[in-house]
């Protein structure tokens, strides 16, 4: 039985005539780091807003099986006259659990500036403070909206490291249009395009192609012409090409290629060095799925 912490069925959100979300189905498993990927304007913020209870869906329903949900907007802002410690302590006061402000401030690298007013904080510091305020209440579910989008590379690295550290403590739903970030920290992704989920599954399935036409790369000695000829006659092969000492073969599904490839190569008297699945970048798959 799948332990689902967020389940959405047919969520639709309209702003006047504009359709922001179009019958979105979503399933986030407990303990996962779920990357909600999509181009700007795809509906990521709207979807997170709906799940956070900040916006009402026009249609559809969703369930969240979590006692404590924390949300981090893309550019957190706090009353500038508050100190960092006060922001975190307010979060502790408003949460239903005990929280250790000092430990969280230390974990987010803000302990030294905890007494400073946040009006003078940089964007990176505000992002870290937002994360501190979000995690101090020990949430079961953490909704992060583009948490690293506005940061410089060092700030991005810090925030992604913090998200990685949280793995196991909470289920994290992480929206981003920066695919590299998602690939680094997420194990499951949903691709949102024009308000619709066009792919949902594990990152591994997506980049290795079990959900799309998978490919294998065969390295050979002495050229791959004979292998290409042999594979072309196989009905499970959708595409095969040779580039000197390599042959790339694609099939309708990973299951088929895993079962048939070696069997088809066995009768050929070829010097095979290696056979390995082709890992496509998330960017390749994303462009393929969204275009």
The alpha-helical segments, DSSP class H, found in the chain are 44-51, 84-94, 101-107, 123-135, 153-166, 179-185, 203-208, 225-232, 254-265, 282-290
CA end-to-end span of the chain, whole Å? 34
- Identity of the residue, 12 or 205, whose beta carbon is nearer to another protein in the bound complex: 12
Q: Select from 35, 38, 43, 76 the one that contacts another protein (CB under 8 A).
A: 76
Q: Is 252 in contact with 261 (CB distance < 8 Å)?
A: no
How far apart are the C-alpha atoms of 13 and 22, rounded to whole Å?
7
Q: Is 105 in contact with 139 (CB distance < 8 Å)?
A: no
Applying CB under 8 A, does 99 fall inside the site for another protein?
Answer: no
How would DSSP label each residue in 151-172?
S-HHHHHHHHHHHHHHBTTBEE
- Please identify, among the stretches 66-74, 171-179, 198-206, 230-238, the one whose residues bind another protein according to the rule CB under 8 A: 66-74
Binders of another protein in range 21-60 (CB under 8 A): 49, 52-56
DSSP helix/strand/coil, 183: helix
Q: DSSP character for 117? A: B
Report in angstroms how near the CB of residue 132 gets to another protein at its nearest. 12
Element (H, E) at 242: strand 237-242
Q: Select from 61, 63, 93, 122 the one that contacts another protein (CB under 8 A).
A: 93
- Please identify, among the stretches 68-76, 176-184, 185-193, 274-282, the one whose residues bind another protein according to the rule CB under 8 A: 68-76
How far apart are the C-alpha atoms of 228 and 252, rounded to whole Å?
17
Q: How many residues bind another protein (CB under 8 A)?
A: 28
- Please identify, among the stretches 82-90, 221-229, 230-238, 259-267, the one whose residues bind another protein according to the rule CB under 8 A: 82-90
Q: Select from 7, 23, 65, 75 the one that contacts another protein (CB under 8 A).
A: 75
- Please identify, among the stretches 129-137, 153-161, 226-234, 246-254, the one whose residues bind another protein according to the rule CB under 8 A: 129-137
Applying CB under 8 A, does 220 fall inside the site for another protein?
Answer: no
Applying CB under 8 A, does 114 fall inside the site for another protein?
Answer: no
- Reading the block at residue 64, the tokens are 């969240």
- Identity of the residue, 69 or 162, whose beta carbon is nearer to another protein in the bound complex: 69
Q: Select from 9, 67, 77, 221 the one that contacts another protein (CB under 8 A).
A: 77
Which residues contact another protein (rule: CB under 8 A)? 49, 52-56, 69-71, 73, 75-79, 81-82, 86, 89-95, 130, 133, 137
């Amino acid at each position: 039985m799948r332990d689902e912490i967020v389940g959405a069925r047919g969520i639709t959100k309209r702003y006047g005539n504009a359709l922001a979300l179009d019958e979105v189905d979503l399933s986030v498993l407990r303990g996962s780091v779920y990357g909600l990927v999509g181009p700007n304007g795809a509906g990521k913020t709207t979807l997170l807003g709906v799940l956070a209870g900040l916006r009402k869906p026009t249609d559809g329903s969703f369930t969240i099986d979590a006692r404590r949900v924390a949300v981090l907007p893309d550019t957190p802002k706090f009353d500038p006259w508050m100190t960092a410690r006060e922001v975190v302590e307010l979060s502790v006061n408003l949460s239903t659990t005990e929280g250790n402000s000092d430990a969280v401030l230390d974990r987010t690298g803000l302990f030294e500036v905890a007494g400073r007013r946040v009006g003078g904080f940089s964007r990176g510091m505000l992002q870290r403070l937002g994360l501190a305020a979000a995690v101090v209440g020990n949430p079961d579910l953490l909704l992060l909206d583009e948490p690293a989008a506005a940061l410089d590379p060092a700030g991005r690295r810090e925030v992604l490291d913090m998200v990685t550290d949280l793995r196991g403590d909470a289920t994290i739903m992480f929206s981003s249009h920066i695919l590299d970030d998602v690939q680094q920290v997420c194990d499951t992704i949903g691709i949102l395009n024009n308000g619709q989920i066009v792919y949902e599954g594990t990152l591994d399935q997506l980049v290795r192609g079990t959900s799309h036409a998978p490919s294998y790369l065969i390295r050979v000695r002495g050229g791959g012409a004979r292998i290409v000829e042999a594979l072309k006659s196989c009905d499970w092969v959708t595409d095969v090409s040779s580039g000197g000492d390599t042959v790339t073969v694609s099939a309708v599904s990973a299951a088929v290629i895993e079962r048939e490839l070696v069997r088809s190569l066995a009768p050929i008297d070829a010097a095979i060095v290696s056979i390995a699945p082709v890992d496509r970048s998330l960017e390749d798959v994303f462009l393929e799925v969204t275009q």
